Structure 1
Amino acid sequence: MALVSSGFRLAGPLVWWGWLVLCSLPRQAPVPAEATASLTQALLAIHFPVAAFTLAFWTLQDPRTRTWCRRLVIACALYLGGQMLLQALTKQPDGGF
């Protein structure tokens, strides 16, 4: 039963991935190398929805694991925000550091 409802939750990310692939289809003949690389990257982006699905329905089933992951994500976001603030405050006028 849970996987039936989870199929609906997976539909949104799969629509996003399909749109990404559709927008990355080459529109020229002959196909340039950049277009091939763009399509390859879009096709391989399927790992994002799959990772979100596995986190939601397999890895993070235990409340302790969810709490640990939430704290880790918050710590990473705070660290990145602090680094961005530090770079903004210490940047030289000529663009150097």
Structure 2
Amino acid sequence: MLEIIKKKFIINILLIVSIVSISILSIHWHHQMYLLHKNEKIVKSNHERINALNRQLMMEYSELESGITIYQKSKEELLMFVPIETEEISI
């Protein structure tokens, strides 16, 4: 009889220890997932900010390039030059 009570006591202690350890690991895992989600949000917002800046710079660069090509084409093909002197028109 004493052996059966002793075995039950040992089994109960092992079950309690395993449940507590699994609970602690679950809490730790949840905390790690929270930190990962927080870092993911920060990285995502930084990535969106960088993409927006990149798109803005690409638009400005293309506008600049198109202006330069139009200016060069007008000078070379159409032989248009900036006037040397501006004449004032008097009314």
How does the TM-score come out when normalised to structure 2?
A: 0.35
How does the TM-score come out when normalised to structure 1?
A: 0.33
Larger Rg: 2
In proportion to residue count, which structure has more helix? Answer: 2
Question: Structure with the greater relative contact order (CA < 8 A, sep ≥ 6): 1 or 2?
Answer: 1
